[in-house]
Amino acid sequence: KSLHPDKTEHDLEWIAKVKVNTQAVLKRAQHVQGQKTPKKQWQAAWLLKAVTCIDLTTLAGDDTPSNIHRLCLKAIQPVRYDLLKKMDMHDKGITTAAVCVYPSRVADAIKLLNAANSSLPVASVATGFPTGQTPLETRLQEVHMAVADGATEIDIVINRMLVLTGQWEALYDEICQFRQACSDAHMKTILAIGELGTFTNVYKASMVAMMAGSDFIKTSTGKEVVNATYPVAIVMMRAIRNYFLCTGHKVGFKPAGGIRTAQESLVWLTLIKEELGNDWLCPHLFRLGASSLLADIERQIYHYVTGQYAAYHELPMP
């Protein structure tokens, strides 16, 4: 799936020379956060769009078949039916984009979705998530197992050490091996931006990940101290845009970690629209990695429909 297997060395030479203008990035991020977001029915429409782009996630040490069961049911019916009916959106097939779980829980998710007659994709984090500090052999094996259990999307983590020490070719080779292990499954490459040190490293890692055949690049595991931030997202989106201009190939973007409010989801959608354009405003090219975001979006939709705010116990939780 790599686009330039024959001229990797030549392609990676320029990577070393890239520099990112930090002040310009921070200024752009400030501008985005200061912009007005849609209100009333336009806001409700954007929030439903955000719902369809969520990878509804649980990555806890105490995950069990029963909370995976609840997660899947919530992903299939993310907003209460009566609320959707009042908006005349009950028959539009609104679901989240996918559910995202640990490899050992993939089979549980597949079983429930099959029983519910749902074709919702199951994404799984593999490759020694979240640190990527297990041997390469083990990480590849994990991908094979998740795919064998039915995951059609794999969220891999890169080896941060290769970025921090500037080993771009080794990073490229490693991601290519993950790409191969994913087979037909979509590969989302997590950069763990909070551990890469500089915007320049984020840009370089983004480019290498795309050159090695990633379908998406993703900000974070959600387990780092710093997760999805707007400045880093701008750097990654510019990389996606430049890659598209050079190759004609569209790579998706997934912010993850710490995205909790409906208001934030509107800022993310606005940023995507302005930086990458309307083509990216769909689950095929944009995902929000989140576990608690959906609850707040549903509360905002409840408010739009009823004029009142729901108590948290009034809305079913994953």
Q: Which two tokens stand for residue 226?
A: 């710093």
Q: How many helices (H) and strands (E) does the chain have?
A: 13, 8
Handedness of CA 242, 247, 252, 254 (dihedral sign): negative
81's tokens: 């039916």
17 is an active site residue: no
Catalytic residue among 74, 188, 204, 218: 218
CA distance 189 to 202: 12
Q: Which of 74, 188, 204, 254 is catalytic?
A: 254
For helices 199-211 and 230-247, give the axis angle rounded to 10 degrees.
Answer: 40
Cα 265-63-54 angle, rounded to 5 deg: 20
**27 flagged as catalytic:** no
Q: How far apart are CA 170 and CA 212, in angstroms?
A: 11
- Classify residue 314 by its DSSP letter: G
Rounded to 5 degrees, φ, ψ at 217 are -115, 140
* Class of residue 125 by CB neighbours under 10 A (exposed 0-12, middle 13-18, buried 19+): buried
Which residues are marked as active site?
A: 218, 254
